[in-house]
Structure 1
Amino acid sequence: MAEKKPVPSVWTRPTTAPRSPALNRATIVREAIAMLDEDGIEALSMRKLGARLNAGATSMYRHVATKDELMELAVDEVLGEVVVPEDGARNWRDAVNACAESFRATALRHPWVCTELGQAGLAYLGPNLASMIEHLRNLLTHTGFADPHTAVDALFSYSIGMTTTESAWLTTVARSGQTEAELLARFLQPPLAEHGHDPDDHNATADLDPVTIRDLKFINGLDIVLDGLATRLPA
């Protein structure tokens, strides 16, 4: 009989007792998240993280075996910031809206998380993500959805897709050295010129609030998704 290979996920192997109270898995993950927020996924390595923690490779690998494991832990830790609906929430749309908006806010604070969600191994095994999904499924089940799993998948696909695009845009803004309004005004100049406006006249874009525009795009799109899901409810 062939020997079963271990499941490649940090959530499927036992943790080891820390030898040094100064270094533990929680400390490693917290510092990794700080590095990811500051410089992105490309800048994170086990070597750099060890140097930042003043810890040797052996000490690090005793708690986290690989960078893939570290990313699984970091993703789930960040998702613990998302506000999840109570199982007994009275209005399913309000509860789902609140959860989706909390997910978006969390992902914008940590712009690497959406990209990593689809790559971090078996991230869905993490306790925070598993709890979020379970709460949403319970809510939709109690509401009357015959297929709450598919409904949750649709909600996650929308939220992750929209937030990934938004995070990429905000990264572009940050690298440009301009404000979001200034960069948006530059992109809008050619169409304005084609319609007879002076390209140097910024009054046409001065009243634009990019943050409000992004908020409305997310909320309006989410409403469409929820409208579609509502048609699956029994009359």
Structure 2
Amino acid sequence: MPRDNLTADRIVRAAIELLDEEGLDGLNMRSLAKRLGSAATAVYWHIKTKDELVRLAGDAIWHEVELPDLDATDWRTAATAHATGVHAMLTRHPWLVQAFGSNFLYGTGQARHNDLSLAIYEKAGFSAARADQAAATVLTFVLGSALGPAAQVSLNRRLSRNGADAEQQMADAMTRATETAMQFPRLRERLGTTAATEYAAAPDDTFAFGLQSLLDGFEARLTADRAGRSE
């Protein structure tokens, strides 16, 4: 593909596809150029560095998350929808979770969601400073919840790249983890009713349970604050 037919948008979309398939370690300008049917020099004409490409790709996928309408819903419904949407996006693109710890990530896509988060918790009744803390707490929880699946994808990819039998290595590790867990009473009890292959997995609805527990805590704090002001 001639350089003139490339655009930054086309490059970013191709980078997202490559990142989804290969992860951060699999992204390089040569592989990306091959996917685009172009030369690496043509890609560099539009985007100068891999770090910049990751930043642009990371910001672009924030646009996949629908923004709840705060004028049409209550704050808890909006907070639940927003956090769930972000969690689903991170699960679809597990490389972004890893990028948070290794790249500078910013842009209008992410900023509009940060702004919405503040608006949600201000609508709930928090002061500006407390809304900042509430939004940060929920984002930390969402990132932490997405870390497990992202790590699993990364581990499977690394084992496969090394020419290893990923399934066998995973089974061997799970066997050793189960043997270790059997030394502890509560873990042993759970392993008695759950297949060993599911030992490392979180129970169903763990994310929803944790998110609603956080929001319950916020609501209790707001209620207590209002009661204190009325005394």
Q: TM-score, normalised by structure 2?
A: 0.74
Structure 2 residue 122 is matched with structure 1 residue 141: yes
Match in the other structure for 1:177: 167
Equivalent residues of 1:89, 1:95 under 8 A apart: no
Q: Name the aligned partner's letter for residue 152 of structure 1.
A: A
Q: CA deviation at 1:85?
A: 2.0
Structure 2 residue 118 is matched with structure 1 residue 129: no
Identity of aligned residues (%): 32
More helix per residue: 1 or 2?
Answer: 2
- Paired with 1:74 and 1:229, the residues of 2 have a C-alpha distance of 33
Structure 2 residue 50 is matched with structure 1 residue 67: yes
**Count of residue pairs the alignment pairs up:** 208
What is the aligned-residue RMSD (CA, Å)?
Answer: 3.2
Match of 1:37 among 5, 15, 20: 20
Does the C-alpha gap of structure 1 residues 85 and 119 become closer, same or farther in structure 2, counting only changes over 3 Å?
farther
Structure 1: any 5+ residue segments left out of the alignment? 1-17, 196-201
Structure 2 residue 145 is matched with structure 1 residue 162: yes
Moved more, 181-190 or 133-142: 181-190
Partner secondary structure for residue 113 of structure 2: helix
Does the C-alpha gap of structure 1 residues 25 and 94 become closer, same or farther in structure 2, counting only changes over 3 Å?
same
- Paired with 2:75 and 2:138, the residues of 1 have a C-alpha distance of 13
Does the C-alpha gap of structure 1 residues 232 and 28 become closer, same or farther in structure 2, counting only changes over 3 Å?
same
Match in the other structure for 2:216: 227
Runs of 4+, deviation exceeding 6 Å: 180-186, 207-210
Match in the other structure for 1:107: 90
- Paired with 1:96 and 1:80, the residues of 2 have a C-alpha distance of 17
Q: TM-score, normalised by structure 1?
A: 0.73
Structure 2: any 5+ residue segments left out of the alignment? 160-165, 186-190, 227-231
